[in-house]
Amino acid sequence: MELLLQYIVAGITYGTIYAIVAIGFNIIYNTTGIINFAQGEFVMLGGMTAFTLKEYMPLPVAIICAVVITMIIGALIEIVFIRWLHKPSVLRMIIITIGLSILIRETALHIWGEGVTALPYFTGTSVTSVNLGGVFISPQVFWAVGISSIVVILLGIFFNFTLLGKQMRACSANREAARLCGISTQNMVTFSFMLSAAIGALGGCIVSPITYISYDSGSQLAIKGFTVAILGGLGNSTAAVAAAMILGILESFSIWALPAAYKDVVSIAIMLIILFVKPSGLFGNAAAARLKEY
Amino acid sequence: MSTKFMQISGFAAAIVAIQIFTQITDSSFHLTQLTMTAYYSLLVIGLCMLIGYAGQISLGHAGFFAIGGYISAFLTTHNLTSIKGKPLIALLSKFGLLVEGKDLYGGGLLAFQPWVACIIAVCTVLIVAYIIGGPVLKLKGHYLAMATLGFGIIVYRIVLGTAGLGAADGISGVPGFTILPGVTIGGSGSGKIMNYYVAWGILIVGITLLLNLISSRVGRALSAIHGAEDAAEAMGIPTANYKLKVFVLSAGFAAVAGVFLTHYNGSIGPSEASVMKSVRYVAIVAIGGMTSLWGAVFMSLILNYFSLRGSFGTYDDAVFGVILILIMLFAPDGLIRTQVLGDLKSFFKRSDSKEATL
């Protein structure tokens, strides 16, 4: 019983990470209809930048700076590579964002080298744990779950109650109409890149102590995040959080039945099955999904 | 004489010229990389058919390449001596499907004949491609890209995580593949020139096959699918069927390339299955102009050759990334086919008109 709970806790920890990446996917997808294949690289950049900065400043400041820097990089990427394209085809956008992800990864390799890095635990050390009814939980798990929950709530408030958030939603609902109402759709796209870069970077900082981050962590996280986004229905962030928990827990249980080396195989196989059987996602509406363009 | 024939003979002449050139300048060590390039090009032209002519992206072709290579490597190196007595093994042996030899330490080695392994490998890939192609090709855009990418990662994870396939080390000691008496695909130094001609010969056969396919009824149907899938369907073209056939065909090309290159190198490692390899193949097709078989062959020759020579150093992957972005931003129709001047003109015109509307 305790072991079962322990697995569930591990699953939730990974689930939070996947949820953060998936939310990043969804934000950009909603405003632009693009899947940003470089989303995982934002997570990696956040973790790596914070690791370097913490040498010069206290940890919380380093994390905030890392988030801001990644945000600026996100904005630059959008302005330099995507903003001026005139109605690019989906194939073209896929290839461009894949190219960007390679570029960011290789740059990171030349800046930070091949080694793995980890931020210190926010409270306590790697061996501190809280005993909760026989289950041992690292305090970092509370940080991860707590910060992620706050992010989700803040995003909800942002999209529903602020002018900027409402403008971004208008953009996703109908670009032309939003433009006619005087919303600068191009700026909204830039904002969406900044927002998803910032969330990704924050996620990278949170998980860095638990999972370690190296220059090539991004693409793995991206595929998990995408799996979760698909599982919940592309564009639906609340469902993505639920789906992330499901995937995280399934994955952590898969270690029971299969060698740990096949952990990724399980989650990707789940993604393929969902794509084949119900591409609108577990919680998605098939009729609504058909109206969207892929 | 048809232009097709002219193109192919021109290409063949260039291949001969390169070999003679290396002979004269006494730089025949280039032939090793050129031979490997030919096998990679075989995969690339298959992929070009799929992306350019059928309009379906695949980010998992390194997976097919690796499945082919790994199966062939495994069957030709896995020692069956310990289970020699089993009726199945005895039966296989009786039909001449197995070959006895010596392993690295001088012990007895009983393994499959390369040609048996090759047939099994290619057939397996065709079956796998057929099975996954059905559901995968129903997807479009991002979903198609992600599904094929997912397939590639699954193959990569499996070969990396399975001890029987050598895990991170891969399989080495793969024997040469005697395709005709006296003609062996293998890394032994003496047959360098012969291997070079065999490899490019296989590629030319592949190109001829595809060129004929493109100018046939199937090719026209494919370009209709690429142009407008719904319209093609309305015209009575069985689009799903054609897409699946091309997918299986291109997977077959990848498998053949994987098998031959593995025998040529004498080894295969998990890096052959990595996502970066798949992306690289897509990059080459994109730079070659998507719908240009010759463009793909030409770019594959240049990029694979320099990459294998190590000319890009530690920036190898970065070079492909940059090329991919630049091509997609400025010349999405590829470098080979576009009239560069006209393209520049339309680029500036487009940005002008865009500013005017804002």
Partner-chain contact B328 A96, CB within 8 Å: yes
**Is a pLDDT exceeding 90 seen at residue B321?**
no
Choose the closest CB to A276 out of B57, B135, B158: B135
Q: Determine the average pLDDT of the residues in A255-269.
A: 80
Please give the residue that has the higher pLDDT: either B290 or A223.
A223
What confidence category does residue B349 fall into, taking pLDDT thresholds of 50, 70 and 90? low
pLDDT of residue B358: 38
For residue A35, which residues of chain B lie inside 8 Å, CB to CB?
Answer: 142, 145-146
Q: Determine the average pLDDT of the residues in A176-196.
A: 88
Burial of A157 (0-12, 13-18, 19+ CB in 10 A): exposed
**Is a pLDDT exceeding 50 seen at residue A254?**
yes
The kind and range of the H/E element at A222 are helix A217-232
**CA B8, CA B2: separation in Å to the nearest integer?**
10
For residue A89, which residues of chain B lie inside 8 Å, CB to CB?
Answer: 332
Q: Determine the average pLDDT of the residues in B266-285.
A: 87
Question: Measuring CA to CA, how many Å separate A247 from each of A12, A207, A279, B123?
Answer: 9, 17, 16, 34
In the 8-state DSSP scheme, what is residue B175? P
pLDDT digits (tens, 9 = 90+) for B147-184: 898 899 999 988 888 877 877 788 877 777 777 766 77
For residue A271, which residues of chain B lie inside 8 Å, CB to CB?
Answer: 146-147, 150
**Is a pLDDT exceeding 80 seen at residue B1?**
no
* Percentage of chain A lying above the pLDDT 70 cut: 96
Phi, psi of A131 (to 5 degrees): -90, 115
In chain A, where the domains are located: 2-220
pLDDT digits (tens, 9 = 90+) for B282-300: 888 888 877 788 888 888 8
Q: Determine the average pLDDT of the residues in B26-38.
A: 82
Choose the closest CB to A272 out of B147, B317, B320: B147
Chain A nearest CA to B179, separation (Å)? 36
Chain A nearest CA to B329, separation (Å)? 7
In chain A, where do the E strands start and end?
A: 130-132, 135-137
* Percentage of chain B lying above the pLDDT 90 cut: 16
Any chain A CB within 8 A of the CB of B285? Answer: no
Choose the closest CB to A92 out of B154, B322, B328: B328
The kind and range of the H/E element at A209 are helix A185-211
pLDDT digits (tens, 9 = 90+) for A74-120: 999 999 988 888 777 777 888 888 889 999 998 998 888 888 888 88
Q: Determine the average pLDDT of the residues in B198-208.
A: 90
Query: CB of B61 within 8 A of CB of B43?
Result: yes
- Tokens 């990446």 label which residue? A21
* Nearest chain B residue (CA) to A34: B142
Buried/exposed code over A55-64 (b: 16+ C-beta within 10 A; e: otherwise): eeeeeeebbe
Joined tokens for residue A184:
């600068």
For residue B59, which residues of chain A lie inside 8 Å, CB to CB?
Answer: 98
B348 contacts: CB under 8 Å, gap ≥ 6: none
A162 contacts: CB under 8 Å, gap ≥ 6: none
Chain A residues with CB under 8 Å of a chain B CB are 35, 81, 84-86, 88-92, 94-96, 98-103, 105-107, 109-110, 219, 223, 226, 230, 259, 261-262, 264-265, 268-269, 271-272, 275-276, 279, 293-294
Name the pTM for this structure: 0.85
Query: CB of A69 within 8 A of CB of A108?
Result: no
Mutate to test the interface with B, among A106, A217, A293 (most CBs of B within 10 A): A106
pLDDT of residue B127: 94
What confidence category does residue B336 fall into, taking pLDDT thresholds of 50, 70 and 90? low
Please give the residue that has the higher pLDDT: either A114 or B261.
B261
From B122, B118, B71, B354, select the one nearest A87 (Cα to Cα).
B354
Bridge partners (DSSP) of residue B112 are B98
**Is a pLDDT exceeding 90 seen at residue B254?**
yes
A148-162, A193-207, A255-269, B64-78: range with lowest mean pLDDT: A255-269
DSSP per-residue string spanning A134-164: TEEE-HHHHHHHHHHHHHHHHHHHHHHHSHH
**CA B340, CA B246: separation in Å to the nearest integer?**
31
Chain B nearest CA to A272, separation (Å)? 6
**CA B65, CA B71: separation in Å to the nearest integer?**
10
Partner-chain contact A99 B322, CB within 8 Å: yes
Question: Measuring CA to CA, how many Å separate A254 from each of A3, A270, B125?
Answer: 14, 12, 27
What confidence category does residue B187 fall into, taking pLDDT thresholds of 50, 70 and 90? low
**CA B260, CA A167: separation in Å to the nearest integer?**
56
pLDDT of residue B104: 56
Please give the residue that has the higher pLDDT: either A65 or B306.
A65
- Tokens 């190198």 label which residue? B265
**Is a pLDDT exceeding 90 seen at residue B66?**
yes
From A200, A165, A184, select the one nearest A66 (Cα to Cα).
A200
Q: Determine the average pLDDT of the residues in B209-225.
A: 86
Mean pLDDT over each residue of chain A, to the nearest integer: 84
Buried/exposed code over B169-203 (b: 16+ C-beta within 10 A; e: otherwise): ebbeebbbbebeeeebbbbeeebbeebbbbbbebb
What confidence category does residue A45 fall into, taking pLDDT thresholds of 50, 70 and 90? very high
* Nearest chain B residue (CA) to A294: B141
Choose the closest CB to A223 out of B140, B150, B350: B150
In chain B, where the domains are located: 3-357
DSSP per-residue string spanning B256-314: HHHHHHHHHHTEE-GGGGSHHHHHHHHHHHHHTTSS-HHHHHHHHHHHHHHHHHTTTGG
pLDDT of residue A66: 93
The kind and range of the H/E element at B172 are strand B171-172
Partner-chain contact B314 A110, CB within 8 Å: yes
Q: Determine the average pLDDT of the residues in B322-330.
A: 85
**Is a pLDDT exceeding 60 seen at residue A290?**
no
Choose the closest CB to B321 out of A35, A85, A99: A99
**CA B133, CA B136: separation in Å to the nearest integer?**
5
Please give the residue that has the higher pLDDT: either B311 or A254.
A254
The amino acid at B350: R
* Nearest chain B residue (CA) to A293: B141
Choose the closest CB to B150 out of A90, A107, A268: A268
**Is a pLDDT exceeding 50 seen at residue B356?**
no
Partner-chain contact A84 B351, CB within 8 Å: yes
For residue A105, which residues of chain B lie inside 8 Å, CB to CB?
Answer: 317
pLDDT of residue A219: 82
pLDDT digits (tens, 9 = 90+) for A2-24: 778 888 888 888 888 889 889 98
The amino acid at B158: I
Partner-chain contact A102 B279, CB within 8 Å: yes
Phi, psi of B193 (to 5 degrees): -65, -40
Helix, coil or strand: residue B182:
coil
pLDDT of residue B193: 81
Residues of chain B numbered 144-183 and touching chain A (CB < 8 Å): 145-147, 149-151, 153-154, 157-158, 160-162
Highest mean pLDDT among A98-112, A123-137, A166-180, B311-325: A98-112
pLDDT of residue A211: 81
**Is a pLDDT exceeding 90 seen at residue A268?**
no
Please give the residue that has the higher pLDDT: either B106 or A191.
A191
Chain A nearest CA to B103, separation (Å)? 29
Choose the closest CB to B320 out of A81, A102, A230: A102
What is the interface pTM, i.e. ipTM, of the complex? 0.83
Choose the closest CB to A106 out of B282, B318, B350: B318
Q: Determine the average pLDDT of the residues in A244-253.
A: 88
* Percentage of chain B lying above the pLDDT 70 cut: 84
DSSP per-residue string spanning B68-137: HHHHHHHHHHS--GGGTTSHHHHHHHHTT-EEEEE-TTS-EEEEE-HHHHHHHHHHHHHHHHHHHHHHHT
Q: Determine the average pLDDT of the residues in B196-202.
A: 87
Joined tokens for residue B177:
């593949």
The amino acid at A91: L
Q: Determine the average pLDDT of the residues in B241-267.
A: 90
Any chain A CB within 8 A of the CB of B227? Answer: no
pLDDT of residue B340: 52
**Is a pLDDT exceeding 90 seen at residue B87?**
no
From B7, B39, B87, B50, select the one nearest B213 (Cα to Cα).
B50
From B307, B262, B301, B11, select the one nearest B121 (Cα to Cα).
B262
What confidence category does residue A291 fall into, taking pLDDT thresholds of 50, 70 and 90? very low
**Is a pLDDT exceeding 90 seen at residue B312?**
no
Query: CB of B114 within 8 A of CB of B264?
Result: no
For residue A187, which residues of chain B lie inside 8 Å, CB to CB?
Answer: none
Residues of chain B numbered 53-82 and touching chain A (CB < 8 Å): 57, 59
Please give the residue that has the higher pLDDT: either A268 or A290.
A268
Mutate to test the interface with B, among A83, A112, A272, A278 (most CBs of B within 10 A): A272
Considering the domain delimited by B3-357, tell me its CATH architecture.
Orthogonal Bundle (1.10)
Helix, coil or strand: residue B184:
strand
**Is a pLDDT exceeding 70 seen at residue A163?**
yes
* Nearest chain B residue (CA) to A259: B161
Q: Determine the average pLDDT of the residues in B101-126.
A: 78
**CA A157, CA A171: separation in Å to the nearest integer?**
17
Q: Determine the average pLDDT of the residues in B78-83.
A: 71
- What is the number of other CB atoms lying within 10 angstroms of the CB of residue B279? 25
pLDDT of residue A71: 94
